[in-house]
Amino acid sequence: MKRIAFYGGSFDPPHIGHLTIARKLSELFALDEFTFIPAFHAPHKKNKKPTSAFHRFAMLSLATENKGKIKVSTVELDAPERPFTYETQTKLKNDLPNTEIFFVIGADSWAEIDTWREWEKVLTLTNVIVVTRPDYEIDLSHVTKEIKVRLIDLQKNVAQKIKNGEQKIYITDAVNLDVSATEIRRKIRAKEDDWRELVPNEVAKYIEKYELYI
Ligand code: ATP
């Protein structure tokens, strides 16, 4: 059975945190593919106007250009109505019947997961991988018993049990990088040149060429 991870987000812009997650999780979970899914814009993130989906898609394509198993999907951008995550998961499950699917989210998304539409479906339709992030606790108080029994904590014990079979929720600290798109946009606006170190080179050139985030 193929093992594919899908990683949704705004990617505004894609940064080394996102790319490191793709690389490390591909190794750790012995994935056949890792696919970024840029969203129209995160439906639950308020007061935030994202950059055009075309720009965000282009930057992800550049960031993954020479990485054979790391891809970008247009599944959400192609949808006639902006889909919720559980709808995308359902579509992918139907389109990929003989595939073990993993959905990747960061610790900040985990902390607010119960605000997502049909969040219990999001956590049970497919496997989920929660990636820790500095300054974000992985708290479990907001999830139900049915969700808790699925948890497999891989923190500090990576070799533990990455099993086939029933859908699980894995928590991993294999990345734990303090990089955020918000901070990168702030640095660009403030003309703090070290923002370039936080994105792949091709993405930095693209941001400059199209004068994004200024
Ligand atoms: P923003 O600062 O604009 O919210 P972001 O850096 O969190 O952006 P998103 O595109 O919103 O980037 O991220 C998509 C997904 O990746 C989210 O689930 C988010 O939690 C996760 N994520 C982003 N950066 C990291 C990181 N450094 N470590 C772990 N997870 C991350």
Q: What is the DSSP letter of 133?
A: B
pTM of the predicted model as reported, rounded to 2 decimal places:
0.93
- Tokens (6 digits) for 157: 């014990």
State if residue 109 touches ligand 1 by the CB under 6 angstroms criterion: yes
117 has pLDDT over 60: yes
* Side chain identity at residue 123, one-letter code: L
- With contact defined as beta carbons under 8 Å apart, do 25 and 34 qualify? yes
Residue identifier of the C-alpha nearest atom 19 of ligand 1: 106
- With contact defined as beta carbons under 8 Å apart, do 6 and 35 qualify? yes
213 has pLDDT over 60: yes
pLDDT digits (tens, 9 = 90+) for 155-205: 876 555 555 567 899 999 999 899 999 999 999 999 999 999 999 999 999
State if residue 10 touches ligand 1 by the CB under 6 angstroms criterion: yes
State if residue 9 touches ligand 1 by the CB under 6 angstroms criterion: yes
Domain boundaries, the chain: 2-177
From 11, 122, 131, mutation site for ligand 1 pocket: most ligand atoms within 8 A of C-beta: 131
State if residue 57 touches ligand 1 by the CB under 6 angstroms criterion: no
- With contact defined as beta carbons under 8 Å apart, do 179 and 198 qualify? yes
d(CA 205, CA 47): 27
- Helix runs in 35-106, H state only: 53-63, 85-95
Of all atoms in ligand 1, which is nearest to the CA of residue 131?
Answer: 29
- Tokens (6 digits) for 57: 């898609």
Residue identifier of the C-alpha nearest atom 30 of ligand 1: 106
Q: What is the DSSP letter of 65?
A: T
The pLDDT of residue 135 is: 87
The pLDDT of residue 41 is: 73
* Side chain identity at residue 159, one-letter code: A
d(CA 35, CA 104): 10
CATH architecture of the domain with residue range 2-177: 3-Layer(aba) Sandwich (3.40)
| Residue 8 pLDDT grade (very low, low, confident, very high; cuts 50, 70, 90) | very high
